[in-house]
Structure 1
Amino acid sequence: MKHDHFDELQQKLQLAFTRPKLLRQAFTHTSYVNENKRGSVQDNERLEFLGDAVLQLLVSEHLFTAYPKRPEGELTRMRASVVCEPSLAYFAERLELGKHVLLGRGEEQLGGRHRQALLADLYESFIGAVYLDSGVEHTRAFLEKHMFPFIESNNYGLLMKDAKSKLQERSQHHGLGQVDYRIVDERGPAHVREFSVEVYLGETKYGVGTGRTKKEAEQRAAAEAWNRLSKSE
């Protein structure tokens, strides 16, 4: 991946990294490092660790301020629904971060660029890099623009339940029929299995999802169906 791809990303997100190598590291998956051992290429796992902590803090701060009457237990549940794999992958997809990630050929062939777990980790490492490069104020400002306004958006509703629960409730409320998840494909060896699932409401297909587990694939299919229903209302 050429550096101009990262220049394009910075322009799009209105960022100006003083340490471009930090940004590149945030997008370097372990599979890429394993296949490119020459030089001092570093993967993004340490940045992912830091980004998770930064997100926990700043999302907590946002919820604490935005919901002054909510008790601690409810705020904890709300934070967990935001700083979790499906929602972080959603935010990574919103920013099209996946197209910039550096992957090994094996991971690329398995569709890693679109895998939910990888995208969630990528979002964390990216936020970790923003924090290290420009500090907490700039990171907060970035999240206030690109994350916080969408936490309660009608298109995703992150502070609600998981996608399968939301779809079930919506289907019952609107009388759309039984929610049925059907596995349509399984591929890859056992340690890197990938499942494809379609979700039907009654006899109509509303969404498709892929994942390393059946549960992950079902959640992605449910999220797609939920979004489709939201847009049609």
Structure 2
Amino acid sequence: MAEKLDLFQEKIGYYFKNIDLLKTALTHSSYVNENKMHHYESNERLEFLGDAVLDLVIGEFLYLTFPKESEGYLSKIRSECVNEHVLSKISKEIGLGSLIYFGNGEIKNGGRFRESTSSDALEALIGAIYLDSSFKTCEEFVLKLFGSHINVSEIKTISRDYKTEIQEIAQKYGKICKYEIVKEEGPDNDKTFYCHLSIDDEIVGKGVGKTKKKATQMAAKAAMDDLEGNKNV
């Protein structure tokens, strides 16, 4: 395991001064329970701390990036940047899930493949790095880790509620919007959803996303893009 931890630290570009913090960040509560350890030896406390640090780092980034936007806008975008799916995806990219210490029962129940488990472990890792170094070092680590997932142009797209916009247009003309998930692809822990938006049974937009919510939003965006492109409602 020591060799795996060395390789992991090399991969993430951070080497722990106190390796026990990393080990704690990787210790799931099921492992603690099965091995009759103290409850505080699981990664839950580090997860609590890491969640707060992550919110602050991303919050500051968005505050400085969008100096004229409202609190509501910033809160909405932050929730999109640090939701469970994004955290789980990053956790998978750095190979965090394969290092987590689980109890045998949790493994049998598929715990290793749950998005919530991997996202919690990533927050615990962030908390561990914060304690092992400084806020500045942890901030640099987080922004580097989340860099490819915080695309300013995409953030601006997220800020528009296309579903509400298209719904208001449809209601104006007495029409009905209907969203249908027409296909799902991939394993349970990494699905892709395909959605069609119909207005009065005519398909006006198609969307793809890693969640049903994102797929429906993208279908609404496609419909709005078409409307705005044609300048004809």
C-alpha distance in 1 between matches for 2:70 and 2:38: 51
Letter paired with 1:63 = L
Alpha-carbon distance change, 122 to 114 in structure 1, aligned in 2, over 3 angstroms: same
Secondary structure of 2:182's partner?
strand
C-alpha distance in 1 between matches for 2:40 and 2:3: 18
The residue number in structure 2 matching 1:128 is 127
Moved beyond 3 Å, runs of 4+:
38-41, 157-161, 194-202, 217-220
Alpha-carbon distance change, 198 to 20 in structure 1, aligned in 2, over 3 angstroms: closer
The residue number in structure 2 matching 1:108 is 107
The residue number in structure 1 matching 2:84 is 85
The residue number in structure 2 matching 1:15 is 14
Letter paired with 1:33 = V
Alpha-carbon distance change, 16 to 151 in structure 1, aligned in 2, over 3 angstroms: same
TM-score, L = length of structure 1: 0.67
State the aligned residue count: 192
Alpha-carbon distance change, 180 to 8 in structure 1, aligned in 2, over 3 angstroms: same
TM-score, L = length of structure 2: 0.67
The residue number in structure 1 matching 2:29 is 30
* Offset of residue 153 of structure 1: 7.9
> Residues 181 and 197 of structure 1 are in contact (CA less than 8 Å); yes or no, is this contact kept in structure 2?
no
Contiguous gaps of at least 5 residues in structure 2 = 167-178, 197-206, 220-233
* Offset of residue 111 of structure 1: 2.1
* Offset of residue 39 of structure 1: 8.6
Secondary structure of 2:133's partner?
helix
Alpha-carbon distance change, 219 to 195 in structure 1, aligned in 2, over 3 angstroms: farther
Instruction: Please provide the CA RMSD for this pair.
Output: 3.9
C-alpha distance in 2 between matches for 1:195 and 1:19: 32
* Offset of residue 14 of structure 1: 1.5
C-alpha distance in 2 between matches for 1:65 and 1:94: 27
Q: Identify the match of residue 180 of structure 1 among 173, 176, 182.
A: 182
Alpha-carbon distance change, 198 to 151 in structure 1, aligned in 2, over 3 angstroms: closer
What do residues 180-222 of structure 1 show as CA deviations (whole Å, max 9, x unaligned)?
367xx9xxxxxxxx999885568xxx99x9xxxxxxx8679x6
* Offset of residue 38 of structure 1: 5.8
Q: Which has the larger radius of gyration?
A: 2
Contiguous gaps of at least 5 residues in structure 1 = 170-176, 186-193, 210-216, 227-233
What do residues 57-103 of structure 1 show as CA deviations (whole Å, max 9, x unaligned)?
11111111122222221011111112221221122122221111111
Secondary structure of 1:147's partner?
helix
